[in-house]
Amino acid sequence: MTAYFITGTDTGVGKTRTSCALIHALRQVGHARVVGMKPVAAGCDWVLDDDGAGGQWLNEDVVALRAASSLKVPSRFDNPYALPEPASPHIAAKLADEVIDLAHIEASFHALRQHADAVVVEGAGGFIVPLHEPASGAEGAHFGHADVGEWATSADLASRLRLPVILVVGLRLGCLNHALLTQEAVLSRGLKLAGWVANVIDPEMPHQAANLATLQARLQAPMLAHWAWDRQAEPADLARSLRLP
Ligand SMILES: Nc1ncnc2c1ncn2[C@@H]1O[C@H](COP(=O)(O)OP(=O)(O)OP(=O)(O)O)[C@@H](O)[C@H]1O
Ligand SMILES: [Mg+2]
């Protein structure tokens, strides 16, 4: 079973684009049942069921991952937390009167891996985005631990799932600092940085080549792809220029 955790230098840097391309790439090399997972999606619309009787909260990343996936699964497995508010997950969860429970996500992930040949897990936001804050009054609470009663972050989820991490670097001013901080955070947790993707999200970025050369010199993992600015790019086409880790 192949699985990866996709993180990024920030929100909106191309994690979904990369996750969808990776799903297609895994399918192109012969994995039959490939599924994307978005454990926590903050920012959903209420979508009515076909019969109009019920409905569900649906996030656009989840829609994109499902369109790329060859394995269709119930939403409790590929998106256990669908939170309406487009905010940091711990804030969106609080507004929805929910608590993001890493054990619940882990159980969903293990259910998926039973049925899939490959799972691509897209994190929320950047690597250390908070998923839940301590219950009020909890003592000794601090970032970095996953127990309920303490802060939990997206990094704790990656650690708990023990997945190799792929870092999407959104190429724009500031990305070197964000990429190097993220690399430190990944490696300091004993996780493997399986590779990184250079994704041009600012077509006007000055000194792009020099920034790319710095990333190549400083990131301790292979560059899996370098994607130009292209609003219309199809994940199946991007997959052909993505090197698998
Ligand atoms: N190389 C690119 N060229 C043009 N547009 C891009 C490129 N990469 C990403 N985009 C666009 O930028 C937006 C953000 O990309 P994407 O949704 O993949 O980011 P994300 O990291 O998954 O964001 P989130 O944190 O919300 O999950 C999307 O509209 C996407 O189509
Ligand atoms: Mg996304």
CATH number at residue 177: 3.40.50.300
Report how far Cα 187 is from the mean position of its chain's Cα atoms.
Answer: 17
Give me ligand 1 centre to Cα 150, in Å: 31
Helix extents (H) in the chain: 15-28, 60-68, 75-78, 89-95, 102-115, 154-161, 175-188, 208-218, 235-240
Q: What is the pLDDT of residue 159?
A: 98
Tell me what pLDDT residue 146 has.
45
Residue 182 lies in a domain: yes
Beta-strand relationship, 81-83 and 45-48: unpaired
Q: How many CB atoms lie within 10 A of CB 186?
A: 25
Q: What is the pLDDT of residue 136?
A: 65
Residue 101: predicted pLDDT? 94
Residue 50 Cα to ligand 2 middle (Å): 26
Q: What is the pLDDT of residue 53?
A: 87
Residue 245 in any domain: the answer is no
What does the alpha-carbon distance between residue 197 and residue 6 come to, in Å, rounded to a whole number? 10
- Which residues are annotated as catalytic? 38
| Three-state DSSP state, 231 | coil
C-alpha–C-alpha distance, residues 222 and 187, integer Å? 15
User: Which ligand is closest in space to the CA of residue 43?
Assistant: 1
What local confidence, expressed as pLDDT, does residue 126 receive? 98
Ligand 1 pocket by Cβ (under 6 Å): 8, 11-17, 61, 125, 199-201, 227, 229-231
Tokens of 2: 């192949």
Query: Domain count of the chain?
Result: 1
Residue 138, pLDDT score: 52
Q: Which amino acid is at 196?
A: W
Please report whether residue 111 resides in a domain. yes
Mutate to test the pocket of ligand 1, among 17, 44, 154 (most ligand atoms within 8 A of CB): 17
Residue 228 lies in a domain: yes
Q: Whose CA is nearest to atom 14 of ligand 1?
A: 12
- From residue 15, how far is each of 123, 149, 189 by CA, in Å? 8, 29, 21
Neighbouring-strand partners of residue 169: 198
Atom of ligand 1 nearest to the CA of 43: 26
If we measure between CA atoms, which residue out of 239, 153, 227, 223 comes closest to residue 188?
Answer: 153
Which range marks the domain in which residue 177 is found? 2-240
Is there a domain that residue 159 lies in? yes
64 in Cβ contact with 20 (< 8 Å): yes
- Examine residue 214 and state whether it is found in any structural domain, yes or no: yes
In the predicted model, residues of the chain with pLDDT beneath 50 are 140-147
Which of 11, 88, 201 should be mutated for ligand 1, with most atoms under 8 A from CB? Answer: 201
Identify whether 132 is part of a domain: yes
Among residues 203, 186, 197, which one has the least CA distance to residue 223? Answer: 197
In angstroms, the Cα distances linking 197 to 12, 46, 137, 227 are: 14, 32, 41, 8
Query: What is the Å distance from ligand 2's center to 55 Cα?
Result: 22
Measured in angstroms, how far is the CA atom of residue 150 from the centroid of ligand 2?
Answer: 26
Atom of ligand 1 nearest to the CA of 14: 18
Q: What pTM was estimated for this model as a whole?
A: 0.95
